[in-house]
Structure 1
Amino acid sequence: MKARNLKRLLGGLAAAATLLAFSPVGAANAAETPITIDPMDPASRVATLTIEGKGSAIKGHSFTALRLGVYMSASKNGDNELTSVSTSSKNADSTGPADEHILPAMKDAYLAASGASSLPAGYEDNVIGAVSKNWLGYASTINTSNEDTTSNSRAKAYDGKLRQFVTNLSGNANVKRRMADTTRDDVATVAGPTSGADTDDMTAQFTGLKGGIYLVVDTTAALSGSSPASIPMLVGTQVTSKDGQSVYDTFADDAANKLGVIKMKSATPTVEKRLIKPSNGAAGIGDELTYQIIASIPLTTGFSHYKYVLTDQPSAGLTYEPDETTVEISNSEIFDTAGSQAVDVPAPTGYEVTPAVGSTPTSGQAITFNLSKVIRLISQGDGTSAHPQYFGSHFIKITYKMRVDDQAVAGNVHNGVKLAYSNDTQKQPDNDNGDDNTAPNQPASEGVIDHTNDPNDPNQPKVYFYNFGIVDQARNNHSTKLDDATFQIKDSDGHVIRFYPVKDANGKVIKGSYKKAADQRDSNTAATTALRRASAPNDAVDGTLTAGQLRFDGLAAGVYTVEETDPPTGYSEISKSTFTVTIDTDAPYSAAAPHYKNGGDVFDLVEANETGWTHAQNPTHFIEVNEVNSISQLPMTGGAGVILVALVVMVLLAGAGGIYVYTRRSEKALGNEG
């Protein structure tokens, strides 16, 4: 039996491949002319199947085509456009070893997809005829049931009975063995280009085929980090006349879609990592950071289980905050308010995040977002408004927070993202969590997109924090460096900042080296606000700080006030310094290249200065603080000179007042005696 009045439409060109599909066509008209076809004539074996797409979908890929049926007859109109084609499974015979029979496999796949107990009457040995009759989306007097007339729609190219038939058939062991025998007449192979850019237009073409319908399977062996093996495809070649001189590839009223052409689009998921707050990466120890992962929703057709696991691997110095993670989907990478919506997480558990809510993560601990359960349901949907189908142009957005912790090292705070995803329907995960297959099943196949190895990858946002230092010295002899002075630092809100003394590898405190504590609460008694370089020799020296030097690390951009609370032994209490330090990362500066400026103190013992500064490992901007051990060493000009004069005048006035009082009292005493 033959299925007649078929019209091909390449549908569903949005993700990995397209199914052969047919759209309605009317009854034959008087202008139709039969095309003489002999599928067994070697002269007619000039049909082709051409796979077209970007390099990311074709480069390095291998494809195998298995003929399922041939064209038996066709007709055309006066414009040499096809008006009808009939198909038969005649050449899908059962000759040869039993384990290579594919007609039984085709029947099994049809019954599994249809749910019927037998093929339609008259089609027992013509499965392709039954597929064409019922599922290729055409309407005629033969197709009275119209079981799947929407198979040429975008959604049905990835679901429905036709898709189920192709998926079931490609997974059959006998079909796999038949396709592995490339010496057979009904099997052909082709490889895509091995070089070129992922954005280049590329093709892979089967040539010398008998005209008919073919199962095309992406048989690429290894695809880690590249486009996954495309979903199995059911496609038709051009129609070739018996003599091989005439080739027809266009249906009437459907010139846009050509027989023999498979249009591929890359199905490689995409993943991007963003630092949202602070957007420029300028932060301090203890600050909270907001990150986003933007990942495309893949096509999961053909998968009963699908792995989709995102991993954030932070450097030491970042700790995940598990209580503030959200997951959304959107039809836009921008995720504006109007375009985004919360994921409808399916019961019972949806996606899983590790470390879980309520746990206590450690510094540098990896975070995994396992969306294996939810991603397949999102991609495939269930046809309801509550669970629509999202894939291709839709994206997952994960928003989460981390905190810069006490293990952070300047210039080395960063984190990237890795995506592991299923890439072969024939090597699927074992369960809904995306776990690998267990024996005796073959190992699951997966692709990996890894943005965790290269610190210069833009998908590894860097976080910068800053430090500055002071050099405490005698004003009258700058070569005399002073220890034992005590300082404190206040933030722009006037809060005194708590620091930890920095220790060497042996746990010994390094003279004068401090790093801001992530925990700024008063209850954190292990941190101190009294910053001092001890003169005692029992502290370690790390080679970067010398006598009189102190360094304060772990600071964010902003304005800080440094106050001297105790001078070195033997130096004046009156002239303790107070000055400001400004770290600016706003344009024209940046987080990687900030600008430093410090204001002078009232005694002019700290000189106002500003300088540009290029980020490097453990950089230090030092500010000179001068100490005096005699009031005469204070400057006599400028602001301090005015204050000094005022102090002298106050002293003199106080002395005069004392003389006056004494005199009056003496006079009074004399008067009392007279």
Structure 2
Amino acid sequence: MQRLVKKQISCIVAMVMVLLLAMSVIVPDKTYAATTHSLKITNGGKTAHTFEIYQVFKGDLSGKVLTNIKWGSGIKDSSKASLGSASAKAKTLTNVTKAEEFANDLQSHLGTPAKTQQVAAGGSETVTGLEPGYYLVKDTASSQSNKENGAYTSYILKIVSDTETNAKLDVPTVVKKVQENSDRVWQDAADYNIGDTIPYKLTGTLPTNYDKYTKYAYKFHDEMSAGLTLDPASIKVKIDGTEIASSKYTVTQDAGSNSFTVAFADLKALDTPTTANSSIVVEYNCKLNDNAVIGSAGNPNTVYLEYSNNPNRGGEGEFGKTPKDKNIVFSYKVIVNKKDENNDPLVGAEFTLYKKTVTGKEAITRFTINNTMEANKTTFTYKGLDAGKYVLEETKTPTGYNSIEPVEFTIHAEYDKTSDDPKLTKLESLGTLTFTADKTAGTLSTDVVNNKGFTLPETGGMGRYLIYVLGAVLVIGSLGYMKRRKEATIK
């Protein structure tokens, strides 16, 4: 009996121990419970960003209040002593300006980030598992240097308690326009004659966070095709409509290319004030030269901006660049084939091509074919023509052929006036003369026909002599009649 009682007591003790062990697992111990938070980051920029999240301060978090503040895991252990009391430092952060200064001062003291998160352009990501504290969010070093549309976000300081933040960044833009000579409208494409002067305009903007920079470098990179020749003396720069002295910026033409730059070392150092709403305009002229490409390939011209992109470094040392903006100038070619009534090539003709203007017509002498080297020419090519009205005059007619009347025709072209990549969409000729158009080659071809003159009929050798005799008789008779009449008048 005693043995049975002991056995029952042992079983009861074992059951109690199991129950106590189970309770220790089920009941949470508040002393060791881990409370973490999340941070949602929204990237409003035009490029992907890799953000590093550093815990600057740690402590006890109640709502938005952090107490018992100590240096966080994101600060190097070797820096904590020199930085002094974390609690005392936190008390000095009384406004945004002081917080920004604090973030800049911390850069050399940062250790290992608590988390790293990539966020796509225009996207959002949520970082989880963050312990309570005060965090610094920044771009990975050098991640936005020389990147198209690249810009660093201003340093973000945030108390983490399931919160969110927007990356504070923006980039400038640039637009390039060419002026059409027929209506003086600024657009993305135009057409011109070889030798014409072509006006261009570059318009740059500034980022919305321009006030966060202490210095701001700004450089236009203009890249012209071989068919365009810059007139350096024509370059003018205006800020918000005020012309800027040439001593305030630098113009550099790149050796061995058709490129040039217009650079400001620091826009903020100018006498002319600039704000985030300012526009910087560069105007200049080019000539369409003999290297001009005829047809749909055209003569492109691009521009991009290089700009300061790191407000955290005061705007120095790192730069981004905008996408290139492109426009294009087209030019065309007229081909005249001289033929006889049998559609055979006919030599001996000379032509002058005129472009009609408001005041009349203007000879395009560079297209005149009238020298001895071209004496046997039957095809006449007029390269580098603008759209518009023209007159083709035959200035020398092949011997034995009738001259033709001046031929009037119009080169009509259509192209994209507003486009990131303008295209020639239509090329044709209007008028009585029929042309064959090749849009890709930019050519309009036609045949100009001369007909032979008429020959008067003859009746043979004897008939010719009789005509001569009759002619002589008539002349002698006329003289005799005039003499007798004169004598009668004297009497």
TM-score category of the 2 structures, normalised to the smaller one: 0.7 to 0.9
CA shift in 2, pair 1:551/1:93, >3 Å: closer
In the other structure, the counterpart of 1:417 is 303
1:69 aligns with 2:48: no
Q: Which has the higher strand share?
A: 2
SS at match of 1:167: helix
For these two proteins, the number of residue pairs brought into alignment is 425
Deviations 1:92-112 (A, max 9, x none): 5999753xx15635x7xxxxx
Query: Of 246, 250, 264, which residue of structure 2 is paired with 1:371?
Result: 264
Deviations 1:537-591 (A, max 9, x none): xxxxxxxxxx6111101111111111111223x334x625421221123699996
Contact kept? 1:88, 1:128, Cα under 8 Å? no
Alignment of 1:644-655 (within 5 A): none
CA shift in 2, pair 1:103/1:69, >3 Å: farther
SS at match of 2:326: coil
Give how far 1:404 is off. 1.2
CA shift in 2, pair 1:557/1:408, >3 Å: same
Larger-Rg structure: 2
Alignment of 1:511-530 (within 5 A): 530=370
CA shift in 2, pair 1:560/1:95, >3 Å: closer
SS at match of 2:102: helix
**Residues in 1 aligned to 2:322 and 2:118: alpha-carbon distance in whole angstroms:** 23
In the other structure, the counterpart of 1:297 is 206
**Residues in 2 aligned to 1:588 and 1:427: alpha-carbon distance in whole angstroms:** 42
**Residues in 2 aligned to 1:496 and 1:364: alpha-carbon distance in whole angstroms:** 33
SS at match of 2:104: helix
Give how far 1:529 is off. 6.7
In the other structure, the counterpart of 2:408 is 580
CA shift in 2, pair 1:102/1:487, >3 Å: farther
**Residues in 2 aligned to 1:672 and 1:348: alpha-carbon distance in whole angstroms:** 91
**Residues in 2 aligned to 1:627 and 1:222: alpha-carbon distance in whole angstroms:** 75
The amino acid that maps onto 2:192 is: A
The amino acid that maps onto 1:671 is: R
In the other structure, the counterpart of 1:534 is 374
Deviations 1:599-635 (A, max 9, x none): 4xxxxxxxx3366x3521252422323253x2359xx
Contact kept? 1:484, 1:534, Cα under 8 Å? no
SS at match of 1:45: coil
Contact kept? 2:235, 2:282, Cα under 8 Å? yes
Give how far 1:232 is off. 1.6
Give how far 1:377 is off. 5.3
Two-structure CA RMSD over aligned residues (Å): 4.0
**Residues in 2 aligned to 1:373 and 1:95: alpha-carbon distance in whole angstroms:** 34
In the other structure, the counterpart of 2:363 is 496
Contact kept? 2:414, 2:425, Cα under 8 Å? no
CA shift in 2, pair 1:415/1:202, >3 Å: same
Give how far 1:73 is off. 6.2
In the other structure, the counterpart of 1:269 is 172
SS at match of 2:266: helix
Contact kept? 1:497, 1:529, Cα under 8 Å? no
Contact kept? 2:224, 2:258, Cα under 8 Å? yes
In the other structure, the counterpart of 2:469 is none
**Residues in 2 aligned to 1:463 and 1:482: alpha-carbon distance in whole angstroms:** 35
Contact kept? 2:236, 2:283, Cα under 8 Å? yes
Query: Of 449, 454, 457, which residue of structure 2 is paired with 1:625?
Result: 449
In the other structure, the counterpart of 2:138 is 217
Contact kept? 2:292, 2:299, Cα under 8 Å? yes
1:126 aligns with 2:88: yes
CA shift in 2, pair 1:580/1:235, >3 Å: same
**Structure 1 residues without counterparts, runs of 5 or longer:** 1-39, 75-81, 108-122, 136-150, 152-159, 239-246, 248-259, 330-340, 356-360, 431-443, 452-458, 500-513, 515-527, 537-546, 600-607, 634-657
In the other structure, the counterpart of 2:115 is 188
CA shift in 2, pair 1:470/1:94, >3 Å: closer
Contact kept? 1:563, 1:577, Cα under 8 Å? yes
Contact kept? 2:250, 2:263, Cα under 8 Å? yes
**Residues in 2 aligned to 1:594 and 1:237: alpha-carbon distance in whole angstroms:** 64
What TM-score do the two structures reach when normalised by structure 1? Answer: 0.55
The amino acid that maps onto 1:342 is: G
The amino acid that maps onto 2:195 is: G
Give how far 1:343 is off. 5.2
What TM-score do the two structures reach when normalised by structure 2? Answer: 0.73
Give how far 1:87 is off. 5.1
**Structure 2 residues without counterparts, runs of 5 or longer:** 1-29, 182-186, 418-422, 457-471
SS at match of 1:585: strand
- Using the aligned pairs only, state the percent identity: 20
In the other structure, the counterpart of 1:564 is 394
1:593 aligns with 2:388: no
